[in-house]
Amino acid sequence: MKILRTVFRILVGLVFIFSSCVKGVDPMGTAFRIEDYFVAFGIPWAGQFATFFAILLIVLEFTIGVSMLLNLWIKKTAWLLLLVMTYFTVLTFIDAIWNLVPDCGCFGDAVKLTNMQTFLKNLLLMIFVVPIFMWRKKYRSALPLSLDVIVLCVAAFAFAWMSVYSSRHLPLIDFMAWRKGNKVNKTESLPVKFFVTYRNKKTGEKKEYLASSYPWNDSLWMSQWVFDSQRVEDPNSGKVSSLQVEDMNGDDVTSFILQNPDYQFILVAYNLKETNAEAFLSILPFYKKAQAAGKAFICITTSMPSEIRKFRMVHGTSFEFFNADDVILKTMVRSNPGLVLLKNGVVIDKWAFRDFPEWSEVREKYIK
């Protein structure tokens, strides 16, 4: 029984630590999902606290994981474990039934699960969590209670610092499609496959074949089977970047941006009302030098044209503004605003507004 208790404890600890780490390196991803939940539950005003709740939740999850893995103060932390798992099992059940938020992000952007898969994962975890709670008084730490608490507090503080740093800058590890070095205008395509299904006239049995390989030249077979249906399998579906950019007239200019063979700077501000206005002022000298060097510099936002015009008048920004969906903009860079450097559809580099570079740095490092 002691071995079973140890296995359960370590397994749950590893899952909690992995889950918290992949979210902790990118807490803004969790914050965006919490905002979605606030909207779904009819309290969008609470979105201003989403980052705080995201970091609090991630740190709590990490601390519980450390407690389980290192066998520290389990008599008390088992209560937190049970409460957290019960809450999220109920929440993911609601999500699985009503799909309030398409992706709860339990493993951040590192591992994608459907809402039903997330709920089933939580149910499976509860098989281990409930016994741990029942056995909580049987776990004995090798350290004194005071040291248990100190170790957990140090772990929580260090992890909180890392998460806060990642929220103020960029993710320490980027799991998203717009990470540095990734090609976002993939044009290579795999062959599209066409399938046909034939039904046996006597038995009703159905068989599917590649359209190029069914026995069409066998007269006996053709007399016994009749065409039933066909389908197409396109392996390229979903592989093209989901970014769709429109100018102020509503014209699609995505290809001009993603297929630009030269260096191109994209200032991403998914919400002009909540963006850091001082960052826009600080980037103006950079923009002017980039323009003088013949490099494209644009801003993409989800704000309405009327908001854009007002923003430009107030802040004196002369570069062009374009529109795109806020979900993909938040994927491009976790900063409002943030700067992305593209060349021929490849993400060369990107910066949060607190880390905007000088033109001389970028010119020396990339443009030469």
Both 203 and 286 in a single domain? no
The amino acid sitting at 257 is: I
Strand 338-343 versus strand 346-352 pairing type: antiparallel
Q: Is residue 276 part of a domain?
A: yes
Both 164 and 261 in a single domain? no
Both 9 and 157 in a single domain? yes
Q: What is the DSSP letter of 353?
A: G
Both 356 and 228 in a single domain? no
Q: 3-class SS at 296?
A: strand
Q: 3-class SS at 20?
A: helix
Q: Is residue 345 part of a domain?
A: yes
Both 226 and 262 in a single domain? no
Residues 6+ apart with CB under 8 A from 336: 268, 269, 270, 271, 274, 275, 276, 353
N-terminal to C-terminal alpha carbon distance within the chain: 66
pLDDT in tens, 26-83: 999 999 999 999 988 899 899 999 999 999 999 999 999 999 999 999 999 999 999 9
Peptide bond into 44 cis (omega under 30): no
Both 13 and 125 in a single domain? yes
Q: 3-class SS at 363?
A: helix
Q: How far is CA 199 from the centre of its chain?
A: 44
Strand 296-301 versus strand 263-269 pairing type: parallel
Both 157 and 198 in a single domain? no
Q: How far is CA 192 from the centre of its chain?
A: 29
Both 161 and 308 in a single domain? no
Both 7 and 151 in a single domain? yes
Those residues of the chain that have pLDDT short of 50 are 237-240
Both 153 and 84 in a single domain? yes
93, 116 Cβ separation under 8 angstroms: no
Q: Is residue 15 part of a domain?
A: yes
| Number of domains the chain is built from | 3
pLDDT of residue 232: 67
Q: Is residue 245 part of a domain?
A: no
Both 26 and 113 in a single domain? yes
pLDDT in tens, 117-137: 999 999 999 999 999 999 999
The domain in which residue 276 lies consists of 254-367
Tokens representing residue 240 in the block: 């093209």
